[in-house]
């Protein structure tokens, strides 16, 4: 048999897989394609891949035989058992140092497990987030690979050439260890939920609050897209709002207001709760979709629960629209601040060395949350690799300070109107909590000790012989009951 010529193999010829193959082929790599239903290999070679250098394989053995060493095989199959099944089928034909890459929507704990299992067998595993849908896969996705660090030098060139490019820089870099690639993709999706919810709230305020028609709202978004909010999601929102049905009515107004979800936003919110990190905006974005889903109940409620009397807006309309732009920007800064907090916390817990500037760079293009703003986040982490919070970066610190007055005015007005702004409001609540030296958790601690002897500690400077520093203290608040609490000092 002649020497293998395949640079990389790809299993899974659904649309994403096919497009990624064609993209890698365009970049000069020889791809070997395989699919469980092998007739799809023939169809693909005879149609979409006709005239390219793509090779086909009709068995796993043939696929592996056609690949140069170390073999690199990307799986783009349904997340879950299909991934494990292919890993199992590949193992007998692989040799030490060969690399299996999972480019599907796997949940990160599976990628952690797979990295460990394959490394124990001398193989390498990469779990890679792939974002940008079919279009991204074909012309340049955002790629977020993490896993066996030793795999990166072998796949770097293929990945970075295949990814989207922004200002000559690839939207792909090494994320970190084990499941971090899929983790970062999950957070990306959560942030996407947040960005979309913020935009939806801005639309609601413009429409129901100021009474502006969709076509004019589209113009406002188009203007915003030239400023700090310049992003794919703002751009498509303007296009959506301009899109009229045959009768000239904006199509968006005919769409049922029940949002679906596939679960990655929920995964992010759950991960945040597990990590004990206040990722409130993504949480609210998920809950807003849940509330939207109970349409029938909302219709019944709307008949019996009244909001405030609608007062016409008497202020300066343009000023308010500018305030809204700032409110959206500030809330977005908070959302990304929270997202990076979550990644930092998880990295600490799982001993990952995450490449934060690289993560922002990966999201700058090729994916749904792509924006100019992510370039500013990249710069912040390039300036200070171990930045504690985006809000400590000069650029973002100044930006939220500038946005703050307008942000508050918008939320206050929305509250008076009775227009829900869960994402805007939770962002501001987080901001006010985060910048508070003192929060009322002293009272929570007192309550916990009162009813459950959960103990508390005293603030420095407030100690006395009965209330020493640095000790878990329980007080008998009622004079009744015992002084017993778990391993504490009873005063």
Q: Which is nearer to ligand 2AM, 105 or 268 (CB)?
A: 105
CA pair distance 394, 384, nearest whole angstrom: 11
Among 23, 25, 30, 35, indicate the residue that binds ligand 2AM (CB under 6 A).
35
Among 8, 13, 279, 357, indicate the residue that binds ligand 2AM (CB under 6 A).
13
At residue 212, the 3 state secondary structure works out as coil
Q: Does 82 bind ligand 2AM (CB under 6 A)?
A: yes
CA quadruple 79, 80, 85, 87: dihedral sign: positive
β-sheet bridge partners, residue 490 = 474
User: Least CB distance from residue 142 to ligand 2AM, whole Å?
Assistant: 20
β-sheet bridge partners, residue 73 = 9, 100
Nearest-Å Rg of the Cα atoms of the chain is: 26
Among 19, 22, 40, 60, indicate the residue that binds ligand 2AM (CB under 6 A).
40
**Counting Cβ atoms within 10 Å, is residue 11 exposed (0-12), middle (13-18) or buried (19+)?**
buried
Q: Phi, psi (5° rounding) for residue 47? A: -120, -90
Which region, judged by CB under 6 A, interacts with ligand 2AM, from 36-44, 326-334, 397-405, 476-484? 36-44
Q: Which is nearer to ligand 2AM, 138 or 207 (CB)?
A: 138
Q: Which residue has the tokens 């749904």?
A: 368
Q: Which residue has the tokens 């508050």?
A: 408
**Residues within window 41-80 making contact with ligand 2AM, judged by CB under 6 A:** 77-78
CA pair distance 466, 274, nearest whole angstrom: 36
User: Least CB distance from residue 63 to ligand 2AM, whole Å?
Assistant: 13
- Catalytic pick from 185, 207, 266, 370? 185
Tell me which DSSP letter residue 459 carries. Answer: P
What per-residue string of b and e applies to 445-470 under the rule 16 or more CB within 10 Å gives b? eeeebeeebbbbebeeeeeeeebeee
Whether residue 216 lies in the annotated active site: no
Q: Which is nearer to ligand 2AM, 104 or 190 (CB)?
A: 104
Q: Does 89 bind ligand 2AM (CB under 6 A)?
A: no
- Catalytic pick from 177, 192, 201, 214? 192
Q: Which is nearer to ligand 2AM, 36 or 161 (CB)?
A: 36
Which region, judged by CB under 6 A, interacts with ligand 2AM, from 30-38, 332-340, 468-476, 478-486? 30-38
User: Least CB distance from residue 37 to ligand 2AM, whole Å?
Assistant: 3
Q: Which is nearer to ligand 2AM, 104 or 358 (CB)?
A: 104
Which region, judged by CB under 6 A, interacts with ligand 2AM, from 19-27, 29-37, 45-53, 299-307? 29-37
CB atoms within 10 A of CB 289: 19
**Residues within window 360-399 making contact with ligand 2AM, judged by CB under 6 A:** none
Q: Which is nearer to ligand 2AM, 85 or 353 (CB)?
A: 85
CA pair distance 326, 385, nearest whole angstrom: 27
Q: Long-range CB contacts (< 8 A, 24+ apart) of 437-441?
A: none
Whether residue 119 lies in the annotated active site: no
Q: Does 14 bind ligand 2AM (CB under 6 A)?
A: yes
CA pair distance 391, 264, nearest whole angstrom: 26
Q: Which is nearer to ligand 2AM, 69 or 78 (CB)?
A: 78
User: What is the CA 490 to chain-centroid distance, rounded?
Assistant: 46
Residues ≥6 apart with Cβ < 8 Å to 174:
145, 146, 149, 152, 156, 355, 358
User: Least CB distance from residue 12 to ligand 2AM, whole Å?
Assistant: 4
User: Least CB distance from residue 86 to ligand 2AM, whole Å?
Assistant: 6
User: Least CB distance from residue 458 to ligand 2AM, whole Å?
Assistant: 59
Among 148, 114, 149, 111, CA closest to 130? 111
x-or-dash string of contact with ligand 2AM, 168-207, rule CB under 6 A: ----------------------------------------
CA pair distance 473, 487, nearest whole angstrom: 9
User: Least CB distance from residue 106 to ligand 2AM, whole Å?
Assistant: 12
The count of residues interacting with ligand 2AM (CB under 6 A) is 11
Among 5, 59, 85, 353, indicate the residue that binds ligand 2AM (CB under 6 A).
85
Residues that bind ligand 2AM (CB under 6 A): 12-14, 35-37, 40, 77-78, 82, 85
Please give the positions annotated as active site: 185, 192
């Amino acid at each position: 048999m002649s020497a293998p010529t395949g640079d990389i193999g790809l299993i899974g010829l659904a649309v994403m897989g096919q497009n990624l193959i064609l993209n890698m082929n365009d970049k000069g790599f020889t791809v070997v394609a395989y699919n469980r239903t092998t007739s799809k290999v023939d169809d693909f070679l005879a149609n979409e891949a006709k005239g390219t250098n793509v090779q086909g394989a009709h068995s796993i053995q043939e696929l592996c035989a056609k690949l140069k060493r170390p073999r690199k095989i990307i799986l783009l199959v349904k997340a879950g058992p299909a991934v494990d099944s292919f890993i199992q089928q590949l193992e007998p034909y692989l040799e030490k140092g060969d690399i299996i890459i999972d480019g599907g929507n796997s949940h990160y704990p599976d990628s952690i497990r797979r990295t460990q299992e394959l490394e124990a067998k001398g193989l390498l595993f990469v779990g890679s987030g792939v974002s940008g849908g079919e279009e991204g896969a074909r012309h340049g996705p955002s790629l977020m690979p993490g896993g066996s660090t030793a795999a990166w030098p072998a796949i770097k060139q293929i990945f970075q050439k295949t990814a989207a490019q922004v200002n000559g820089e690839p939207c792909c870099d090494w994320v970190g260890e084990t499941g971090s690639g899929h983790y970062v993709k999950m957070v990306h999706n959560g942030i996407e939920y947040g960005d979309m919810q913020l935009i939806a709230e801005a639309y609601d305020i413009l429409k129901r609050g100021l009474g502006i028609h969709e076509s004019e709202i589209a113009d406002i978004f188009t203007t915003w897209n030239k400023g700090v909010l310049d992003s794919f999601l703002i751009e498509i929102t303007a296009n959506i709002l301009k899109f009229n049905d045959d009768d000239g009515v904006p199509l968006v107004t005919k769409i049922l207001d029940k949002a679906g979800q596939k679960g990655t936003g929920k995964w992010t919110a759950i991960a945040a709760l597990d990590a004990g990190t206040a990722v409130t905006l993504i949480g609210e974005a998920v809950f807003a979709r849940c509330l939207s889903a109970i349409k029938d109940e909302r219709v019944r409620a709307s008949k019996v629960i009244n909001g405030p009397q609608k007062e016409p807006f008497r202020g300066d309309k343009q000023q308010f629209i500018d305030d809204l732009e700032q409110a959206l920007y500030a809330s977005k800064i908070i959302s990304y601040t929270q997202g990076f907090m979550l990644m930092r916390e998880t990295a600490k817990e799982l001993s990952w060395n995450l490449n934060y500037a690289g993560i922002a760079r990966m999201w700058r293009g090729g994916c749904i949350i792509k924006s100019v703003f992510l370039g500013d986040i990249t710069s912040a982490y390039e300036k200070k690799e171990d930045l504690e919070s985006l809000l400590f970066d000069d650029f973002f610190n100044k930006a939220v300070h500038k946005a703050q007055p307008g942000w508050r005015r918008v939320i206050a007005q929305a509250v008076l109107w009775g227009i829900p702004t869960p994402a805007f409001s939770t962002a501001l609540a987080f901001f006010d909590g985060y910048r508070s030296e003192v929060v009322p958790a002293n009272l929570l601690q007192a309550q916990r000790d009162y009813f459950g002897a959960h103990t508390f500690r005293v603030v420095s400077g407030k100690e006395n012989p009965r209330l020493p520093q640095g000790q878990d203290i329980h007080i008998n608040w009622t004079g009744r009951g015992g002084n017993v609490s778990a391993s504490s000092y009873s005063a």
